[in-house]
Structures are given as structure tokens and as C-alpha cells.
């Protein structure tokens, strides 16, 4: 198999073998659900696990952010974090210290407590890998279920695509970007997206949830916006119609994708929050986000499942493109 996520059909088959009989598990393993929800009485515990394998720079900080995002997308508050840090043979103590400092910096910024984990030197690794485990909590009434999107809902996307993939490629493939025609200034601007606007969607999710009009939220990651839409639709058994002209592709992303011949719709997209919103609440949600300096864009609608996944453009209606693997993973696996 190729680098990246398991094929969706294989993952679905594997998850269907999980016999989750505990009645307190309100949301267990399934395609399109990025975190688990466990009944704790008056509240629910939301649990998420996600590694970072592509990034090398700021990997500890990075791992906290991507795990917190998926907690926030269920309407919960990230609270507790555990990290498994695997270091390559021969790693210097300074690398462990750097990663640990990154983790604590990110946790402090989100008000999250680092409560445990594991560290080791691992045979066969060529670079560090950090796997994060985030726990959060919410009132039962505050949970935004991943399968909540309804036909007729508006699809909103904050900021644009693809912040994460653009920043990573600028940091990991600067030489190839120069060869593809990008200037050092443009590469630096692309790399800076990791910090500003950044890859966190926690604040955006909290603002959106305060309106009461959010039916579902998703943090599009591997496979980009196209895969994120497919996962949102799968979780709710609905279709989607994406308006190609409404998608805000960041200028830096356009340059990176042009230089490396990548497709923005399939590029790693953390930093953008995808929402299915009650149509009458769209204006209010956008206004509240704008007050916090977070721009958002109406990119399409949720449709009946029978309509499938469609892309509307000036040339008509076509199938939404699919990406068996993320464009970043595809590029990074190519021989030099």
C-alpha cells in the first residue's frame, strides 16, 4: 500500500470488526468519525489519537494542534494530552528536549494539561515520530455529532485551502519549489502559514458552536478538502455539491501546487474548518467568525445521498475528485 491513510474500503472493513458492546460508548470507530465519545454521566469524554509523520520541524507543537482540532470539531474542549515520542537511533538529548518543549508550549497555548505518554529510541527510524492522544469534555447537549449534516445545509469553510500542506512543503521541499520557479520570499511566506493563520481550528469551532446552528464540523486533513467533504458526507449518509468558484485557495498554495504539479483539493488541509450549517444561521456564524478575524466562505450545499458528491463549475456539474492518498504524501514518496 502507498503512504498515507488506509484505503477507505479497507478501513471500513477493519472497523466493522470492532465489537464495541459497552453502552457508554456513544460514538465508536467508524469512517468519518475522527474521535470517540464516551458517556461520563452529566458530561461526555471525547478521545482522539493521531500521529504526525510527515513533519519534522516543530513536530511536538504540531501533534498537539491536530489532535485538539478533532476534539473541537465534536463541540468539546481539549483538556488532557498524552504523547508517544519515538526517536531515531543516535538521536541527541537536545532533540528530545526540543520536542518536549514544543509539546508543552502548544499545551499551554490551548489550556491543555500534559498528563503522560511514552518516549523511546526506536530501531529503524530515520526521523522522529510523535503520536498524540487528546482527551476533551463537553456537556451531552453540546456534542456536534459527525453524522449531523442534513440535506439543505450550507457548507462553510474557514480561511482557505490548503494551509497545512502548503506550509509543510515550503519547509520540507524548498529546493524543489525554487526549481519550480518560486522565489525565496514566496517560500518563506508559505512556510509562515504554519503560524499565521496557523493550523488550529479550535477557536473557530468554539465560536461556531456558540451560535447553535452547526449540524456537523470536520477538520479536513489527509486527502484535503475533497476527502474531508467525502468523510462528512459518509458520516451523515448525504451528498454534497461543491462550488468550485467559491473555494478560497490561498495564494501561497497556488504557487506551491503550480511549482510541484499538485492539486489543491487533495492537499493536506488542517487550518480550515468545514461546517454544515443551518441555512438561516449562515450570516450569524460568518459575522461572529469575522469579529474574531476569521474569514469564512460559503462553498456549497449538503444534498440528498442519491445526488452523490458533485463539483459545480462554469463547465457544468461533475463528480467531486477523489484522492486515494494525500497530494503531499504522493509528492514526498516520489524518487528524488
Domains, the chain, in order of start with CATH, read 8-142 (3.30.1330.10), 154-332 (3.90.650.10)
The whole-number average pLDDT for the span 219-233 is 93
pLDDT at 94 over 90: yes
- Region 217-229 average pLDDT: 93
Return the closest-CA partner of residue 219 out of 238, 209, 205: 205
- Name the H helices within the chain: 8-15, 59-72, 93-110, 163-172, 174-179, 184-191, 202-209, 224-236, 251-260, 282-291, 327-332
CB-based contact 37:27 (threshold 8 Å): yes
Are 263 and 323 in contact by the 8 Å Cβ rule? The answer is yes
Q: Report the candidate in 36, 75, 34 with the shortest Cα–Cα distance to residue 213.
A: 75
Interval 59-78: pLDDT, tens: 999 899 999 999 999 999 99
Cβ-count burial of 258 within 10 angstroms (0-12 exposed, 13-18 middle, 19+ buried)?
Answer: middle
What pLDDT digit, counting tens, does each position of 250-265 carry?
999 999 999 999 999 9
| Residue with more model confidence, 126 or 276 | 276
Q: How many helices (H) and strands (E) does the chain have?
A: 11, 13
Give the model confidence (pLDDT) of 17-50 as tens digits: 777 788 999 988 777 678 899 999 989 999 999 8
pLDDT of 86 higher than 90: yes
Quote the CA–CA distance of 40 and 284 in Å, as a whole number.
32
- With a pLDDT cut of 70, the percent of the chain lying above it is 97
Cis peptide before 197 (omega within 30 of 0): yes
d(CA 99, CA 149): 38
Q: How far is the C-alpha of 316 from the C-alpha of 294, rounded, in Å?
A: 31
- The percentage of the chain sitting over the pLDDT mark of 90, rounded to a whole number, equals 80
Q: Is the pLDDT of residue 334 over 80?
A: no
Q: List phi, psi (to 5°) of 93.
A: -55, -30
Average of pLDDT values for 157-166?
94
Question: Would you place residue 335 in the very low, low, confident or very high pLDDT band (cuts 50, 70, 90)?
Answer: low
277 pLDDT more than 80: yes
Which of 36-40, 123-127, 247-251 has the least mean pLDDT? 123-127
Q: Are 206 and 215 in contact (CB under 8 A)?
A: no
- Structure confidence at residue 336 (pLDDT): 61
Q: What is the pLDDT of residue 285?
A: 97
Cβ(96)–Cβ(119) under 8 Å? yes
For range 260-280, the mean pLDDT: 96
Phi, then psi, of 273 in degrees rounded to 5: -100, 125
- Confidence band, pLDDT 50/70/90 cuts, at residue 10: confident
User: How much is the mean pLDDT over the chain?
Assistant: 92
Residue 114 has pLDDT above 70, yes or no: yes
Beta partners for residue 116, in sequence order: 82
Q: How far is CA 81 from CA 2, 47, 67, 70, 194, in A?
A: 30, 10, 9, 13, 21
Which of the four pLDDT bands, split at 50, 70 and 90, describes residue 314?
confident
Q: In whole angstroms, what is the distance from residue 26 CA to residue 41 CA?
A: 12
Looking at per-residue confidence, does 196 or 334 come out higher? Answer: 196
d(CA 50, CA 79): 16
Residue 210's pLDDT band (cuts 50, 70, 90): very high
Amino acid at each position: 500500500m502507498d503512504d498515507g491513510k488506509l484505503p477507505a474500503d479497507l478501513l471500513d472493513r477493519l472497523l466493522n470488526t470492532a465489537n464495541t458492546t459497552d453502552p457508554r460508548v456513544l460514538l465508536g470507530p467508524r469512517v468519518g468519525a475522527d474521535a470517540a465519545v464516551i458517556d461520563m454521566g452529566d458530561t461526555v469524554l471525547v478521545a482522539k489519537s493521531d500521529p504526525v509523520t510527515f513533519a519534522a520541524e516543530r513536530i511536538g507543537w504540531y501533534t498537539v494542534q491536530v489532535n485538539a482540532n478533532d476534539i473541537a470539531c465534536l463541540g468539546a474542549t481539549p483538556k488532557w494530552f498524552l504523547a508517544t515520542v519515538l526517536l531515531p537511533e543516535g538521536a541527541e538529548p537536545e532533540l528530545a528536549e526540543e520536542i518536549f518543549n514544543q509539546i508543552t508550549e502548544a499545551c499551554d497555548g490551548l489550556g491543555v494539561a500534559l498528563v503522560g505518554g511514552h518516549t523511546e529510541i526506536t530501531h529503524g527510524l530515520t526521523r522522529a515520530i510523535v503520536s498524540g492522544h487528546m482527551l476533551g469534555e463537553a456537556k451531552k447537549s453540546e456534542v456536534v455529532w459527525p453524522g449531523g449534516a442534513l440535506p439543505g445545509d450550507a457548507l462553510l469553510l474557514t480561511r482557505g485551502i490548503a494551509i497545512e500542506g502548503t506550509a509543510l512543503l515550503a519547509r520540507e521541499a524548498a529546493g524543489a519549489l525554487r526549481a519550480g520557479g518560486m522565489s525565496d520570499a514566496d517560500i518563506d511566506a508559505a512556510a509562515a502559514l504554519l503560524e499565521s493563520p496557523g493550523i488550529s481550528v479550535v477557536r473557530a469551532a468554539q465560536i461556531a458552536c456558540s451560535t447553535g446552528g452547526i449540524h456537523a464540523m470536520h477538520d479536513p486533513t489527509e486527502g484535503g478538502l475533497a476527502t474531508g467533504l467525502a468523510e462528512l458526507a459518509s458520516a451523515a449518509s448525504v451528498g454534497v455539491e461543491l462550488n468550485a468558484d467559491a473555494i478560497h485557495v490561498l495564494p501561497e498554495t497556488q504557487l506551491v501546487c503550480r511549482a510541484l504539479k499538485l492539486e489543491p483539493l487533495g492537499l493536506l488541509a488542517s487550518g480550515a474548518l468545514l461546517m454544515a450549517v443551518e441555512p438561516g444561521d449562515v450570516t450569524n456564524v460568518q459575522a461572529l467568525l469575522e469579529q474574531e478575524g476569521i474569514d469564512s466562505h460559503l462553498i456549497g450545499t449538503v444534498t440528498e445521498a442519491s445526488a452523490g458528491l458533485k463539483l459545480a463549475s462554469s463547465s457544468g456539474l461533475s463528480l467531486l475528485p477523489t484522492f486515494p492518498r494525500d497530494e503531499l504524501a504522493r509528492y514526498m514518496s516520489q524518487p528524488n
